Amino acid sequence: MSEQTTNPTYVLQGAAPLGADPVDLVLAGGVITEVRAAHSPVADDETAVDATGLVALPGLVDLHTHLREPGREDAETIVSGTRAAAVGGFTAVHAMANTTPVADTAGVVEQVWRIGRDAGWVDVHPVGAVSVGLEGHQLAEIGAMADSAARVRVFSDDGKCVWDPILMRRALEYVKAFDGVVAQHAQEPRLTEGAQMNEGVVSAELGLAGWPAVAEEAIIARDVLLAEHVGSRLHVCHLSTAGSVEIIRWAKGRGIDVTAEVTPHHLVLTDELARDYDPTFKVNPPLRTAADVEAVRQGLADGTIDIVATDHAPHTREDKDCEWAAAAFGMTGLETALSVVQQTMVDSGRMTWADVARVLSAAPARIGRIDEGPTAQGRPLEVGEPANVVLVDPTARRVVDGRSQATASTNTPFHGHELPGRVVATFLRGRATVLDGAPVEQVAGVRS
């Protein structure tokens, strides 16, 4: 693949930062160098990008992405996954540790970090495992991963719960030394043995083993108390029930240092979709009830839930094109996340574009501690800040085609659905990774 040897000075003409009044944003040398009046004259050495009618947001940051490499490159690679992230408007992702081998050593997290850096589509921040092999018995090399070139600050056994309260306490105590955070997959294993979907009316009618809400809520309740006891940071992954929202609300009211995320699919999809036994809709945690969907929307709107994270989980066709019981859990989400948030939260009047920037950029960057320094993410669109910018057309409508997305997998739950909004351009420190809605293949260092 050819390389882009120089980065032009881009002038985003008529862009509306966070949906406010249009201006011209000038991106040069990796930063925002100037904010001009809208549609000012452009110099000969500047490249104009027509952003009329487009909303400008800080580059999106995903705290929860599965890139599958190393080990499951048949489902996704770091290159294909980060290309999909750029198309979705992201400029940074956190790669979960449940790879093969597991990212439980400094060597593995540095491998993931270096491949992501060489790919160049987005900044890749590896998430380190809490326990060796994700088995929940022995702490992984947390300190070594934190001190590595990857500078890991988020640790999670996601895909599995840190079920042992003693190990969870030790992990929370350990990460305090470098201001890290433990991101918990809240799933009590004994209460979910053999579970296939949400426990409720639909599971009873279908005869599928149910996944009770209390299995999530019990772990969250335990862990917020542990976090309070040791004075550490806790992050709750993919919160999905009304009860979980109430526990987080209570914990924050008590002053506990806890944050929480909701996925796009839990903002809109319900367990009714399991009636057709389509494995596309099999996910962990499971799709819940309409009442749960309403509760998580309200929790996101009022700030109880801090961020939206994709839990992008690509799978091969073989792992999804099978009977429900044999199918893998998970859905892709990087390329549809912003549209789902627009549909459920912005177009409904629950949130503004400034709120979207908070839950999809500033807050996840802060939780992951990547919001400072020359490669900072989630920063405001102001002069002197890193030029991580996404331009969105909020008036566009598109029908999702899972077969034509940039991710290597097709298991999107939104295939055939019409969604609002379209990412028109993405800039990573002033370098265009997406223009006119398509990946810029001349990105320096990107491997095909």
Distance CA 69, CA 31 (A): 31
Active site residue 311: yes
Q: What separation in angstroms does the CA of 105 have from each of 69, 131, 145?
A: 15, 10, 6
- Residue 417 assigned ligand-binding role: no
Phi and psi for 128 in degrees, rounded to 5?
A: -90, 150
Burial class (CB in 10 A: 0-12, 13-18, 19+), 355: middle
Q: Say which residues have a Cβ less than 8 Å from residue 419's Cβ, sequence separation at least 6.
A: 336, 339, 340, 342, 343, 397, 398, 399, 400
Q: Measure the CA–CA gap between 112 and 69, rounded to whole angstroms.
A: 7
State yes or no: 415 annotated in a binding site.
no
Is 225 one of the annotated binding-site residues? no
Catalytic residue among 123, 311, 319, 393: 311
Tell whether residue 198 is among the known ligand binding residues. no
Q: What is the dihedral of CA 341, 419, 401, 438, to 10 degrees?
A: -70
Q: Which residues of 374-408 are buried (b: 16+ CB within 10 A; e: fewer)?
A: eebbbbebeeeebbbbbbbbbebeeebebeebbbb
* 284 labelled ligand-binding: yes
7 is in an annotated binding site: no
CA 205 to mean position of chain CA atoms: 33
Give the Cβ contact number of residue 229 at 10 Å: 12
Binding residue per annotation — 265? no
Residue 185, annotated as binding a ligand: yes
Which amino acid belongs to residue 268? Answer: V
Determine whether the annotation assigns residue 266 to a binding site.
no
Contact 154, 180 (CB under 8 A): yes
330 is in an annotated binding site: yes
Residue 411 among known ligand-binding residues: no
Give the three-class secondary structure for 362: helix
Residue with tokens 């009442």: 291
Binding site listing: 64, 66-68, 98, 158, 185, 238, 284, 311, 315, 329-330
Catalytic (active-site) positions:
311
Binding site listing for Zn(2+): 64, 66, 158, 185, 238, 311
Binding site listing for substrate: 66-68, 98, 284, 315, 329-330
